[in-house]
């Protein structure tokens, strides 16, 4: 299959040795939305050895404008993004070992997935998950690449444990939170620009060209023709609880986690059950149907409707309550339907 990667091998920064390294590495992708699907496709086309991709959501029509792996058929079937991504990625490159996980990237899951991982790429949409990624990265000394975009704006930063500041350090100087969730929309070119920054850094890490890694925090606005690159070496904080002299990894602590989450940019609340366990979707569908609910499903999830309310239930017991940002109301809907 040398011909397949010939143009990539011709690039001096990669070459035959670099291509061999890419083919031996394992990348963990957190999220299969806009950034996740784009980064995953680039890595799979480049011949990454293994890709693990985890996502908690399913494909909706509004995703098709910028999430490049998905189709109208995925929307009609309400396929989980991880499952749809796996199907498409295997069709692109059958030589790559791809593992898709439909579920929440909580700290326990992240710590388990971190084993044997060479790089973590952030493609999530919330800071609770990002901070857990950051702590897992520091605890297990795994590089990770932060990325975000909204509107025409995007940003990226590469975090190397023991070398660069971590995300917890950056939060002391850069107001990142305001860019994680927005109702002002997003344009696909901003997504592609953020993906380009992340994937280029990923290649540098995978071929172990550490000197080429960008040491700056990049921020851009394509609509306003703005591009900023900031040196962040002074942001490293000795007292940081994630990467400092005496780390405690606070975002892996159970006390710092929530059971409910408002999904970014949507009138949707995710609820995670306090007791983890697999749900029999077939049995649950029969029970809910007998109670008068309108139930549709596939092997991965159930969509339950009663009047204006809709809830999607996954095998792991997670549920998405659509049409509300009210956590109390969402919990009541969950309890009423699930019992």
At residue 76, the pLDDT reads: 95
pLDDT tens track for 24-51: 999 999 999 999 999 999 999 999 999 9
Choices 3.40.1190.10, 3.40.50.720, 3.40.430.10, 3.30.310.10: CATH for 258-338: 3.30.310.10
Q: Helix, strand, or coil here: 107?
A: helix
Q: What fold, for 2-255?
A: Rossmann fold (3.40.50)
Selection from 201, 97, 191 nearest residue 157 by Cα: 201
- DSSP lists the bridge partners of residue 28 as 52, 120
Q: Which residues contact 10 (CB under 8 A, 6 or more apart)?
A: none
Lowest mean pLDDT among 49-58, 80-89, 113-122, 293-302: 293-302
Higher per-residue confidence, 253 vs 70: 70
Rounded average pLDDT over 121-135: 90
Distance, in Å, from the CA atom of 197 to the CA atom of 42, rounded to the nearest integer, reads 12
Higher per-residue confidence, 268 vs 119: 119
Residue 14 — pLDDT band, cuts 50, 70, 90? very high
Distance, in Å, from the CA atom of 143 to the CA atom of 159, rounded to the nearest integer, reads 6
At residue 92, the pLDDT reads: 98
Distance, in Å, from the CA atom of 260 to the CA atom of 239, rounded to the nearest integer, reads 30
Higher per-residue confidence, 69 vs 324: 69
Q: Is the pLDDT of residue 174 over 80?
A: no
Rounded average pLDDT over 241-263: 81
pTM for the model:
0.83
The mean of the pLDDT values for the chain is 89
Residue 179 — pLDDT band, cuts 50, 70, 90? very low
DSSP string, 116-175: T-SEEEE--S-HHHHHHHHHHHHHHT--EEEEEEEBTEEEEEEE-TTTS--HHHHTTTS-
Strand pairing report for 268-271 and 294-297:
unpaired
Q: How far from 194 is each of 16, 81, 154, CA to CA, in Å?
A: 27, 20, 6
Distance, in Å, from the CA atom of 189 to the CA atom of 263, rounded to the nearest integer, reads 23
Selection from 16, 3, 6, 8 nearest residue 199 by Cα: 8
Higher per-residue confidence, 177 vs 3: 3
The vertex-224 CA angle with 218 and 225, nearest 5°, equals: 60
Ordered by start, the domain boundaries in the chain are 2-255, 258-338
At residue 276, the pLDDT reads: 63
Specify whether the CB–CB gap between 137 and 166 falls below 8 A.
Answer: yes
Q: Is the pLDDT of residue 315 over 60?
A: yes
At residue 181, the pLDDT reads: 40
Q: One of 166, 181, 240, 243 is an active-site residue; which one? A: 181
Q: Which residues contact 32 (CB under 8 A, 6 or more apart)?
A: 40, 53, 54, 55, 57, 69, 81, 82, 84, 85, 123
Rounded average pLDDT over 178-186: 54
Is 181 tagged catalytic? yes
Q: Is the pLDDT of residue 6 over 80?
A: yes
Tokens of 308: 């204006």
Q: Helix, strand, or coil here: 84?
A: helix
At residue 104, the pLDDT reads: 86
Selection from 146, 108, 133, 294 nearest residue 232 by Cα: 146
């Amino acid at each position: 299959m040398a011909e397949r990667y010939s143009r990539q091998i011709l690039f001096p920064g990669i070459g035959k040795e670099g291509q061999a390294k890419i083919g031996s590495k394992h990348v963990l992708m957190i999220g299969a939305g806009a950034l996740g699907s784009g980064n995953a496709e680039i890595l799979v086309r480049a011949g990454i050895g293994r890709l693990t991709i985890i996502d908690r959501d399913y494909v909706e029509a509004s995703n098709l404008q910028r999430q490049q792996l998905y189709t109208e058929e995925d929307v009609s079937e309400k396929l989980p993004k991880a499952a749809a991504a796996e199907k498409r990625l295997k069709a692109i490159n059958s030589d790559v070992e791809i593992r898709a996980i439909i579920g929440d990237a909580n700290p326990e899951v992240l710590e388990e997935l971190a084993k044997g991982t060479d790089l973590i790429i952030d493609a999530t949409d919330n800071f609770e998950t990002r901070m857990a990624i950051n702590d897992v990265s520091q605890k297990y000394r795994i590089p990770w690449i932060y990325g975000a975009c909204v509107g025409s704006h995007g940003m990226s930063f590469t975090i190397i444990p023991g070398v660069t500041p971590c995300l917890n350090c950056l939060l002391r100087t850069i107001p990142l939170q305001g860019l994680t969730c927005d109702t002002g929309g997003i344009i696909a070119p901003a997504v592609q620009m953020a993906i380009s920054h992340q994937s280029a850094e990923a290649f540098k890490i995978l071929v172990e060209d550490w000197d080429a890694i960008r040491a700056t925090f990049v921020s851009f606005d394509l609509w306003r023709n703005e591009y900023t690159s900031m040196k962040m070496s002074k942001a490293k904080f000795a007292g940081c609880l994630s990467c400092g002299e005496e780390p405690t990894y606070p975002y892996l602590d159970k006390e710092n986690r929530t059971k409910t989450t408002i999904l970014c940019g949507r009138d949707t609340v995710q609820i995670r059950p306090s007791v983890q366990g697999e749900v029999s979707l077939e049995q649950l569908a029969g029970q809910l149907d007998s109670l008068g609910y309108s139930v549709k499903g596939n092997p991965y999830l159930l969509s339950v409707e009663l009047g204006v309310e809709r809830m999607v239930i996954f095998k792991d017991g997670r549920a998405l309550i659509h049409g509300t940002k009210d956590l109390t109301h969402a919990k009541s809907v969950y309890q009423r339907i699930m019992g």
